[in-house]
Structures are given as structure tokens and as C-alpha cells.
């Protein structure tokens, strides 16, 4: 199964970068500004500058954007945002079996209502004995996330697959987690709208995003499949289309009427009212892209790579990057201050 919806119409339009451009990075961050270019366009207009930021799935718009970067070890780096430091979570996979598994387990951030804190996602995998690994999911409060104190954690254990995605809930307290099998786990008062658990998928789920009112969410799979729940409308996907590299994440527009998917090579694909502003698919990258986030007003977006490099498009401002800040620990996500 590659794409599915609970409600809504198939009205998405796809936009993909077709131009080939090599851009020198500035302190590891490149920003590209371009005219919105549809997949059917034959040319694009380019300018170069620098930027990075992330999408708040609830569509909270501020004129002065900021964001956090996250490493797999749980360290956050603020850019025009509240300093959060490192999580209380260990972000370490216990009892590695062969030594080839990643020693770190933190994978994502999602901004809490108000933009003064985030939920951090941790997906530890325990390898004990010769049996199958044991998967868990943890959300940890950092900064102000509502009534739940900073440093507090909520968790789910013995789930069926590796936890890979997180989205903050705007209704109630807490966040959603999703596993690679499409299972969804609602923690801390986040409402449950359904999942793809126990459904045969063509490719694993890699991320999720929430609707602005917190009454629905989307899941994105590595083959580009999109699965929508609650009041999240299915607007199209990259399933059954050729991808040079797998999809690694998604972000929603502030009004919830569109979304972007991003691939590991920096390719960007837009649906609904999400505008295409360019991509990094033809840029020589030092590390794969690992996430996408929208400018709070939806006028641009940022891509972040595993080396901390940041690429900005449209009206997304450059606020810095993570290049050179970590040694041997990959960056895994970005979250907008909102």
C-alpha cells in the first residue's frame, strides 16, 4: 500500500527541482531563493544566500522566526530561540548487539504550542540475547510544553517497530509518535485518530506532521506514500513515482491545506497549497538531508543535513547552522520556534 486517506480529495500538485546547480556552502549552510517552479516548468530563477528553520504543524505564525537543531545524542542548538540545552533522556540505545547499530536513539523535535518549548522524540532499541530487538518510544518536555514540567517524560514500550516520527498536539498535552510500521501512539492527552499499524506497507514510515488545529495528522513513508487521519486531507503523494533517493520527512503548511515531502538527496515535492521554492537535489551534499521545516508563514522552507548544513528556500531567513558543532554525532531534525 503506497497512499491512503481517511477523508479528503486527491487534489495535490507535485513540484520537483529540475535545475542543476552547485552552490558553495557558507559555514556549512546554503540558502537558495528561487521563483516557485512547478514540475512542468522548463527553467527556474536562482539567487544564493543562506538559511534554516522549521515548520510548526499548528500554523502559529511569528514575524521573527527562530528554530532548534537536534543531534542524535539529544543536544539542541538554538537559533533565535530559547536555549534548551541537552535532554534528560540518555538518547543511547541499550545493549547493542553487534556494535554496528547506532549508539544514539533521539530522532526528532516538535514545537509545543506557544513556541517556548519542544517535545523531543527518543526511540531506544534494546538488543538483549538472541531474540528480536525491543522498541520503545519516549517524548521528553524541554522548555514550556504546557502543564507538563520541563524535563518530564512520557513513554510507550514494547511497540512493534522502531519509532521514527513525532508531532506535537495543539489540543491537550503531549505529542504523537509513529513507528516505521505506521503505528501511532498518542501520549499525554494527544487524541488518537488512527494508524497504519497491522497494515502491509510497501515502504516504512519515516515521519509525520500534524494539522493546525491538532485534530489530525499525516504519516509519510520512504517511497513517498502519504497516509492521512482525522481532519488531515490527502492531497497527493510521491508513491508510484520515481525517486532518486528515499523520502526522509515531511512538513505541513500553516493552514493545513498542503504539505511538502523531502528526500535524502534534498529533492522537495509539494502538494495542495504548499508552494515549491527549490530543492537541493542537484547540489553536492556533505551529508544526506534528514528533515524539512516550513517558514512559519509558509513562504519558504529549510532543509537540514546530517552534518548540520542548512539550506533555505523562498523567504526563509538564514539564522545559522550546526556544521562544526559536533564530532561524529549526526544531526537528525529541526523544529521552528513558531
**Are the beta carbons of 285 and 265 closer than 8 angstroms?**
yes
Give the separation between CA 193 and CA 221, rounded to whole angstroms: 18
The three cell numbers of residue 227 are: 497516509
> How many other C-beta atoms lie within 10 A of the C-beta of residue 257?
18
Cell numbers 523531543: residue: 120
- Domain residue spans of the chain: 29-336
Residue 99 binned pLDDT confidence (cut-offs 50, 70, 90): low
State whether residue 126 is helix, strand or coil.
strand
Q: In terms of CATH, what superfamily is 29-336?
A: TolB, C-terminal domain (2.120.10.30)
The Cα 20–Cα 277 span in angstroms is 14
Distance from C-alpha of 260 to C-alpha of 195, rounded to nearest angstrom: 20
For 140-145, what is the mean pLDDT? Answer: 86
Distance CA 84, CA 77 (A): 8
Q: What is the model's pLDDT at position 95?
A: 59
pTM exceeds 0.85 for this model: no
**Alpha-carbon span 213 to 251, nearest angstrom:** 15
CA distance 84 to 10: 40
Q: pLDDT-based confidence at 104, cuts 50/70/90?
A: confident
Mean pLDDT of 306-332: 93
- Find the mean pLDDT for residues 244-270: 97
Amino acid at each position: 500500500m503506497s497512499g491512503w486517506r481517511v477523508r479528503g480529495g486527491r487534489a495535490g500538485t507535485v513540484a520537483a527541482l529540475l535545475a542543476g546547480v552547485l552552490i558553495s556552502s557558507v559555514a556549512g549552510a546554503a540558502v537558495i531563493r528561487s521563483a516557485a517552479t512547478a514540475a512542468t516548468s522548463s527553467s527556474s530563477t536562482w539567487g544564493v544566500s543562506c538559511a534554516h528553520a522549521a515548520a510548526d504543524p499548528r500554523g502559529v505564525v511569528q514575524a521573527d522566526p527562530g528554530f532548534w537543531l537536534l543531534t542524535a545524542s539529544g543536544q539542541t542548538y538554538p537559533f533565535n530561540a530559547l536555549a534548551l540545552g541537552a535532554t534528560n533522556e540518555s538518547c543511547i540505545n541499550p545493549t547493542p548487539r553487534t556494535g554496528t547499530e547506532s549508539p544514539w536513539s533521539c530522532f526528532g523535535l516538535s514545537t509545543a504550542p506557544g513556541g517556548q518549548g519542544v517535545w523531543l522524540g527518543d526511540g531506544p532499541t534494546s538488543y538483549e540475547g538472541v531474540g528480536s530487538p525491543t522498541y520503545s518510544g519516549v517524548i521528553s518536555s524541554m522548555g514550556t510544553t504546557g502543564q507538563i514540567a520541563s524535563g518530564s517524560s512520557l513513554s510507550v514500550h514494547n511497540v512493534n517497530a522502531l519509532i521514527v516520527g513525532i508531532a506535537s498536539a495543539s489540543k491537550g498535552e503531549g505529542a504523537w509518535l509513529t513507528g516505521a510500521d505506521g503505528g501511532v501512539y498518542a501520549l499525554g492527552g494527544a487524541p488518537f485518530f488512527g494508524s497504519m499499524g497491522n497494515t502491509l506497507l510497501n515502504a516504512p514510515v519515516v515521519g509525520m506532521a500534524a494539522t493546525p488545529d491538532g485534530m489530525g495528522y499525516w504519516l509519510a513513508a520512504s517511497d513517498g506514500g502519504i497516509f492521512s487521519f482525522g481532519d488531515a486531507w490527502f492531497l497527493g503523494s510521491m508513491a508510484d513515482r520515481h525517486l532518486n533517493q528515499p523520502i526522509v520527512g515531511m512538513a505541513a503548511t500553516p493552514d493545513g491545506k498542503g504539505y511538502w515531502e523531502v528526500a535524502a538527496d534534498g529533492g522537495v515535492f509539494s502538494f495542495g497549497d504548499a508552494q515549491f521554492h527549490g530543492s537541493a537535489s542537484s547540489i553536492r551534499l556533505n551529508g544526506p538531508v534528514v528533515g524539512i521545516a516550513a517558514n512559519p508563514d509558509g513562504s519558504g522552507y529549510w532543509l537540514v543535513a546530517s552534518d548540520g548544513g542548512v539550506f533555505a528556500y523562498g523567504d526563509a531567513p538564514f539564522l545559522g547552522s550546526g556544521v562544526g558543532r559536533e564530532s561524529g554525532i549526526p544531526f537528525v531534525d529541526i523544529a521552528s520556534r513558531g
